[in-house]
Amino acid sequence: MAANKHDDSVIEASKAIVASLPPMKDLTTDNITENVHAINSQTPDPRLKYLLDRLVVHLHELARETRLSTDEWMAGIMFLTSVGQICTDVRQEFILLSDVLGLSLLVDSIDHPKPPNSTEGTVLGPFHTHEAPHSTLGSDISSDPDGEPCLVVCTLKDVSGKPIEGAKIDVWETDSKGFYDVQYQERDGPDGRAVLTSDKNGDFFFKAIVPVPYPIPHDGPVGKLLKLLKRHPYRPSHMHFMFAKDGFDPLITALYLRNDPFESSDAVFGVKDSLVVDLGKVNAEQAKKYGVKEGSALIEYDFVLVTDQEAQELREKKAMEAMKAQGRKMKMWKGLPIPDLD
Ligand code: BEZ
Ligand code: FE
């Protein structure tokens, strides 16, 4: 067997780090937290330092507060291991975990705050892909013969009502059985998804199928967790939208159908009243204009994007309010809060 040898430069660098630290021995339940903080505090990145400090404080507090047992923590580690092990290119169990814990929605609300006159965001979910074809306006995004045809007609504006031309709009939905294309092992290519571009009036429109309720993937560790918690895995009928345009804050959102059985108990907490729409019917004029059957299903919505600057100002304002409420002296660094130690 070849002899192992550690890299000499690592031991020298490690000794130098030891020399700059206070001794850490005989640590107790009472002082372990501050010592871990001390050793993590050498990073020159103040945001990383702050995030790690709070992560360790809250993790340690969880253990102290609940008197966490070794068996429970090992069960937690095994659970996280299984979440990682089931992940593939098309299965993202960590996003799912973040979703069912309400963390995805919370982070989106914090990082993409919306003024009242703009479109709210919601969870991305694990089924957005980068392989959707660029489609022309009016295209049919679904090849499902069993789906109920649905015309989708939307506008895209800024908060002053000015149309936004040339925005990249990803749309995606399940088929009529409640599965995304990537959930089929054998598939010919993308389906139920497209990338569109808003026209000079800020309009965009496409043909799709009426969304149906469906369960989030629940055959893995997250599904097991939901079962233990006596929670159901269903999401209400919805269609996803993602907007990107230079100068505007990216918007990830979805439209939900009113009166869905799961409208007020989404497994991933994504429903907001402002995103709930009535399923309408195509009138004669629309039927002619868009080349669809009169009386077929219709979704109409006016989306409003905020500029990067508007989003950043609101983000900073809310960050400062939150920090003040916690009684902390903070300052902004690269647009994110860090402790103000001066
Ligand atoms: C979705 O809507 O695609 C979704 C969102 C969160 C978890 C699973 C699926
Ligand atoms: Fe979805």
Which pLDDT does position 323 carry in this prediction? 85
pLDDT at 17: 87
According to the model, what pLDDT value does residue 176 have?
98
Atom of ligand 1 nearest to the CA of 180: 3
Distance 163 CA to ligand 1 centre (A): 29
**Longest C-alpha distance within the chain, in Å?**
81
Burial of residue 100 (CB within 10 Å: 0-12, 13-18, 19+) is: buried
- Which atom of ligand 1 has the smallest separation from the CA of 238? 2
Judged against a pLDDT cut of 80, whether residue 8 lies above it is answered with yes
Using one digit for the tens of pLDDT, what is the confidence trace for 175-204?
Answer: 999 999 999 988 888 999 999 999 999 999
- Whole-number Cα distances in Å, 43 to 10, 12, 69, 141, 267: 17, 18, 31, 48, 38
Beta-carbon contacts of 78 under 8 Å, excluding residues fewer than 6 positions away, are none
pLDDT at 3: 81
Q: Taking all residues of the chain, what is their mean pLDDT, rounded to a whole number?
A: 95
Ligand 1 pocket (Cβ < 6 Å) reads: 96, 99, 123, 125-127, 216, 235, 268
11 or 56: which leads in pLDDT: 56
Question: What local confidence, expressed as pLDDT, does residue 58 receive?
Answer: 98
Instruction: Say whether 152 sits in a helix, a strand or coil.
Output: strand
pLDDT at 313: 93
pLDDT digits over 227-283, tens only? Answer: 999 999 999 999 999 999 999 999 999 999 999 999 999 999 999 999 999 999 999
**Is residue 2 pLDDT above 80, yes or no?**
no
pLDDT more than 90, % of the chain: 82
Model pLDDT for residues 158-174, shown as the tens digit of each residue: 999 999 999 999 999 99
The position carrying tokens 């996280």 is 80
One-letter amino acid of 116: P
Angle between helix 32-40 and helix 46-66 axes, rounded to 10 deg: 160
What is the pLDDT, as a whole number, of residue 327? Answer: 86
What dotted CATH number matches 114-215+235-306?
2.60.130.10
Q: How confident is the model at residue 1 (pLDDT cuts 50, 70, 90)?
A: low
**Pairing of β 234-235 and β 238-244:** unpaired
Which segment of 20-29, 38-47, 106-115 scores lowest on mean pLDDT?
20-29
Taking the CA of residue 254 as reference, the ligand 1 atom at the shortest distance is: 2
The rounded Å distance from CA 127 to ligand 2 centre is 7
Q: Which ligand is nearest to the CA of 226?
A: 1
> Which residue out of 179, 235, 237, 260 has the highest number of ligand 1 atoms within 8 Å of its CB and is therefore the one to mutate?
235
Residue-range domain boundaries for the chain: 15-68, 114-215+235-306
- Of ligand 1's atoms, which has the minimum distance to the CA of residue 240? 2
The pLDDT of residue 40 is 92
Task: Tell me what the mean pLDDT of segment 83-98 comes to.
Answer: 94
The protein residue with its alpha carbon nearest to ligand 1, atom 2, reads: 125
pLDDT above 90: residue 22: no
